[in-house]
Amino acid sequence: MLEEEVVARVLSEALSRGGDLAELFVESKRSTALRLDDRRVEGVSSGFDEGAGVRVLLGDRASYAYTNVLTTDSLREAARAANAGLSGFKSSVATDLRRGRGPVHPVEARPEEVPSSDKAEALIKADEAARAEGGSVRQVSVSYADVRQRVLIASSDGRRAEDDRTRVRFAVQVVAARDGEIATGFEAPGHSGGFELLAAHDPSALGSQAAAKAITMLDARPSPAGEFPVVLAPGAGGVLIHEACGHGLEADTLVKEASVYAGRRGDRFGSEKVTIVDDGSDIGAWGSFGVDDEGTEAQRTVLFDEGVLVGHISDLQSARKIKHPPTGNGRRQSYAHLPIVRMTNTYLLPGPDDPAAIFASVKKGVYAATFAGGEVNPATGNFVFGMSEAYMIEDGEIAYPIKGATLIGNGPRVLQVIEAVAGDFGRKEGVCGKDGQSAPVTNGM
């Protein structure tokens, strides 16, 4: 994306007034989006953005500047702006380059080569299938988005890496209404890959599934109050692991001792059935990449191994503070943002238990099929989650849908009381927000 000579000049400029590490992040991004509302495709929006950011580190301090003009002069100006606030030890720019390259995520059908008419047809199919589910369907919204992001990361310590990332997502939201009751259904698969997503996830099937959920929830009864056993659905239940466990194991939180897990490495939190990983190298997963936004290769990091806390996730800066190698979790929303510690694909790995046996063991409980947002306090581990799709379990079987259900608990405590983990693993894609930045992530269990 840039010639090596230009990269070297920018990094040298960034260290001209001091600093022990300089880093250049260059990004080029193309995106396409289509949306259907009220049975009409509203048109195609396309975007292109490129730019670069320069970061200078000095001890625990960081300074950052960026530009959306990729000329040598503009890049050097950004480098000077980044080092303006730092002075001290002057490091040198390494000439012995270390090329970083992580897993390659195959793209079978380049989205930019697929006609817009084919993408629009997929929206229409989902809309028609959703409306065919019955007269209770009142509104259908369907969206398609693809993005291709190419990045280059170079640093004064000799790291060089490039990554070419393509992501596609297709979302269907259905609103159903009957006798004054309103309910919604939602399906939104995504992956690191191309337009072949819609071969694996048929748009018509997605429309039908979203509508069926909305119609089912019209018959939901008010959720009973009290404490009940909870069975978490494959895929969607992984958001509980993401929020209640994952955020507390981000190293920037750990170094501030603002996490309930700080200083607890080696402690047992759950049974031998509980193994949790964060895996940015999972081929084709929505939150995956080849290298992170600091040039560290994507990897699988074990957080809990058979119930024992054994790991954390980190970026370069937090890794320096805790004196551990970075785990490939330095991510940024764009070149205009500093990298921060972020999860990628966070999974509770499959266990030995049979799903039918799990349900059979529950006399009266709640089946949490889909969550609708919530909050967690990393310092205490306490959390509150709403459920957009939930059911009562009675005598080992799903009895009826419920509405207004809320899951309240504590992350470490939840790990302690997990009794069974089934083998029917599933994934759900989402977007995680932190410090004003968003990042694609996958939750799984």
Burial class (CB in 10 A: 0-12, 13-18, 19+), 291: buried
Residue 168 confidence (pLDDT) above 90: yes
Q: Which residues contact 227 (CB under 8 A, 6 or more apart)?
A: none
Q: What is the pLDDT of residues 41-80, one digit of tens each?
A: 987 899 999 999 999 999 888 999 999 999 999 999 999 9
CA distance 444 to 427: 4
Instruction: Using the Cα atoms of residue 133, residue 442, residue 414 and residue 421 in order, give the sign of their dihedral.
Output: positive
Report the amino acid identity of residue 37: D
Does residue 230 sit in the same domain as residue 153? no
Does residue 201 sit in the same domain as residue 258? no
What is this structure's pTM? 0.95
Q: Where residue 96 sits, what CATH number does that domain have? A: 3.30.2290.10
Which pLDDT value is given to residue 96? 63
Please count the structural domains in the chain: 2
Cα–chain-centroid distance for residue 11?
31
CA distance 278 to 330: 13
Does residue 147 sit in the same domain as residue 228? no
Which pLDDT value is given to residue 344? 99
Q: How many CA atoms lie within 13 A of 333 on its CB side?
A: 10
Q: Which residue has the higher pLDDT, 37 or 374?
A: 37
SS (H, E, C) 128-145: HHHHCCCCCEEEEEEEEE
Does residue 185 sit in the same domain as residue 63? yes
Residue 102 confidence (pLDDT) above 80: no
Q: What is the pLDDT of residues 262-285, one digit of tens each?
A: 999 999 999 999 999 999 999 999
Does residue 243 sit in the same domain as residue 140? no
Which pLDDT value is given to residue 372? 86
Report the amino acid identity of residue 251: A
Asked if 32 contacts 112 with a C-beta cutoff of 8 angstroms, the reply is yes
Q: What is the pLDDT of residues 353-395, one digit of tens each?
A: 999 999 999 999 999 999 987 788 999 999 999 999 999 999 9
Of residues 256, 54, 275, 61, the one with CA closest to residue 153: 54
First-to-last CA distance in the chain?
A: 38
3 state SS of 204:
helix
Which pLDDT value is given to residue 91? 66
Residue 88: pLDDT band by 50, 70, 90 thresholds?
low
Q: What is the pLDDT of residues 185-237, one digit of tens each?
A: 999 999 999 999 999 999 999 999 999 999 999 999 999 999 999 999 999 89
Residue 98 confidence (pLDDT) above 60: yes
Q: What is the DSSP string of 312-346?
A: -B--HHHHHHHTS---S-EE-SSTTS--EE---EE
Asked if 411 contacts 230 with a C-beta cutoff of 8 angstroms, the reply is no
224 DSSP 8-state letter:
P
3 state SS of 192:
strand
- Answer with the one of 201, 217, 233 that is the final residue of a domain: 217
In residues, how long is the chain? 445
Classify each residue of 31-63 as buried b or exposed e, where b means 16 or more C-beta atoms within 10 Å of its C-beta. bbbbbbeeeebeeeeeeeebbbbbbbbbeeebb
Q: The domain containing residue 323 runs over which residues?
A: 221-444
CA distance 105 to 196: 13
CA distance 163 to 150: 6
CA distance 304 to 188: 28
Residue 95 confidence (pLDDT) above 60: no
Residue 103 confidence (pLDDT) above 90: no
Of residues 54, 142, 148, the one with CA closest to residue 93: 54
Which pLDDT value is given to residue 52? 99
Residue 100 pairs in a beta bridge with 161
Does residue 271 sit in the same domain as residue 213? no
Residue 443 confidence (pLDDT) above 90: yes
Q: Kindly report the average pLDDT of the chain as a whole number.
A: 95
CA distance 257 to 253: 6
- Which residue do the tokens 């990298």 mark? 339
Asked if 195 contacts 109 with a C-beta cutoff of 8 angstroms, the reply is yes
- Answer with the one of 184, 217, 250 that is the final residue of a domain: 217
Does residue 226 sit in the same domain as residue 142? no
CA distance 104 to 288: 10
- Which residue do the tokens 């059908």 mark? 109
Does residue 204 sit in the same domain as residue 246? no
Report the amino acid identity of residue 46: S
Residue 314 pairs in a beta bridge with none
CA distance 265 to 261: 8
Asked if 58 contacts 84 with a C-beta cutoff of 8 angstroms, the reply is no
Does residue 211 sit in the same domain as residue 227? no
Which pLDDT value is given to residue 43? 75
CA distance 259 to 232: 24
Q: What is the pLDDT of residues 394-430, one digit of tens each?
A: 999 999 999 999 999 999 999 999 999 999 999 999 9
Does residue 278 sit in the same domain as residue 188? no
Residue 138: pLDDT band by 50, 70, 90 thresholds?
very high
Which pLDDT value is given to residue 10? 97
3 state SS of 9:
helix
User: What mean pLDDT comes out for the span 248-271?
Assistant: 96
Which pLDDT value is given to residue 373? 77
Residue 94 confidence (pLDDT) above 90: no
Which pLDDT value is given to residue 13? 95
User: What mean pLDDT comes out for the span 21-31?
Assistant: 98
CA distance 76 to 84: 12
Which pLDDT value is given to residue 337? 98
User: What mean pLDDT comes out for the span 94-118?
Assistant: 83
Does residue 206 sit in the same domain as residue 226? no
CA distance 249 to 260: 9
CA distance 136 to 65: 52
Of residues 176, 151, 442, the one with CA closest to residue 288: 442
Does residue 143 sit in the same domain as residue 288? no
- Answer with the one of 196, 217, 238 that is the final residue of a domain: 217
